[in-house]
Amino acid sequence: MCTLVTNASQFFETGKPVIRAELTRVRGSSPREAGTEMFVTGTTLFGTIGGGQLEHIVITQARTMLSEGTLSTVLDLPLGPEIGQCCGGRVELRLTRMSGKDREDALYRLKAGKSEQPHVYIMGSGHVGRAIANVLQHAPVNCVLVDMRAEELALCDADVDKRLRAIPEVDIFNAPKGSAFVVLTHDHGLDFLLTSAALELGHAAYVGMIGSATKRAKLRSWCESHCNGLSIEDLTCPIGATASRDKRPEIIAAFVAAEVLTALTTGAKAAGGSEETVLLQAAQ
C-alpha cells in the first residue's frame, strides 16, 4: 500500500518513521533537479523525485531501510535501460532516516517554501474565475481569488485564498513582485481598471484579461486616454487562446492555467529574476 500525501503537516505529524531521499547530484538528463527531495514512510509518500522506475527503486530502498533499521545510504543510478528508463542521465541520491528534529526542520522548510511561491491573483469569481481557481489550487502557487460580490465568492469551493474587496485594485497594488494577474470580472470598465493597474506595476510575470481582439483594442484606446499612453504590449488578451473552440469554463481554465504557469516558470519578469527562484516544486 502506498498513499501520496499532499499536506506536509499531515504527513510529518503522524510520528511515523520517515526516510528522506534527496537528489544530491544530477548528470545529463533527469526528471528532477539536484536538491529535490521526497519523503517515505512504510505506507505513505510526500513529494516526488520524478516518478517512474527511479522513484520505485528509491521507495523500495527507503522501506527496506525502515524495516532493517538502516540510518543512511547512497544510491548511484543510471537513468537508462538498466532500470527501464530512457532519460539518459545519471543521478546520485542520499537516503537518510529522519530524527524528530529533522522532521521539524523539514516541515519548517516546506512551509517557508510554500509562502515564497509565486502569487496568482484571479480578479473575478464568475464561472471562469472559479474554474481557474479549481485548477490552480493543485499547483505550487499562492492562488488568490478576489471579488466584490460575496455571493460569487461563496460559490467557490477551491482551497484558495478568497478575498471580498470593495476596492479590488488594492490587492494588485500590494501584490508581491513577480505575481500573475488574471482579470475576468463582471464589468468591462472594472476589467480595464484592474488590467491597467497590473500593467502599471511593471513587474508582473503575467497579466491576462478575458475578452477578444476587439476588447483588447478598446483597452488600448482607454489606456491612451486614461493612463498616459500605457502600453499593453505585455498583456495577454484573449486569455487561454488556442485552436480549441470549446468555451466551457473548465476548458478555458485549463488553457489559462497553462499560460500562467508557463509565465511563472520561464518569464523574464518572474519573481527574483532567475529560473532557480521560480521553478515550481511539486514536492510543495
Residue 87: per-residue pLDDT: 64
In single-letter form, the type of residue at position 176 comes to P
- List Cβ neighbours of 223 (8 Å cut-off, separation of 6 or more): 192, 196, 199, 229, 230, 231, 232
The number of helices, as runs of H, and strands, as runs of E, in the chain is: 10, 12
What is the Cα Rg of the chain in Å?
22
Residue 281: per-residue pLDDT: 33
Residue 86: per-residue pLDDT: 63
Q: Which DSSP state fits 83?
A: G
DSSP E strands: which ranges in the chain?
3-4, 19-27, 37-40, 44-47, 72-78, 90-97, 119-123, 142-147, 161-164, 180-183, 206-209, 235-236
* Closest C-alpha among 68, 46, 48 to residue 56: 48
267 CB-side CA count, 13 A = 22
Residue 267: per-residue pLDDT: 57
Residue 95 class from Cβ within 10 Å (0-12 exposed, 13-18 middle, 19+ buried)?
buried
pLDDT of the chain, 284 residues: tens digit per residue:
567 777 888 898 888 999 999 999 999 888 899 999 999 999 999 999 988 889 999 999 999 999 999 999 999 988 876 666 666 688 999 999 999 999 999 998 888 888 789 999 999 999 999 999 999 999 999 999 999 999 999 999 999 999 999 999 999 999 999 999 999 999 999 999 999 999 999 999 999 999 999 999 999 999 999 999 899 999 999 999 888 889 899 999 999 999 999 999 985 444 333 333 333 333 33
Residue 15: per-residue pLDDT: 85
Residue 49 class from Cβ within 10 Å (0-12 exposed, 13-18 middle, 19+ buried)?
buried
3-state secondary structure string, 191-221?
Answer: HHHHHHHHHHHCCCCEEEECCCHHHHHHHHH
- List Cβ neighbours of 130 (8 Å cut-off, separation of 6 or more): 145, 152, 155, 156, 158, 249
Euclidean distance between CA atoms 228 and 169, whole angstroms: 18
Residue 224: per-residue pLDDT: 92
- Cβ pair 239, 260 in contact under 8 A: no
- Cβ pair 65, 97 in contact under 8 A: yes
Residue 25: per-residue pLDDT: 94
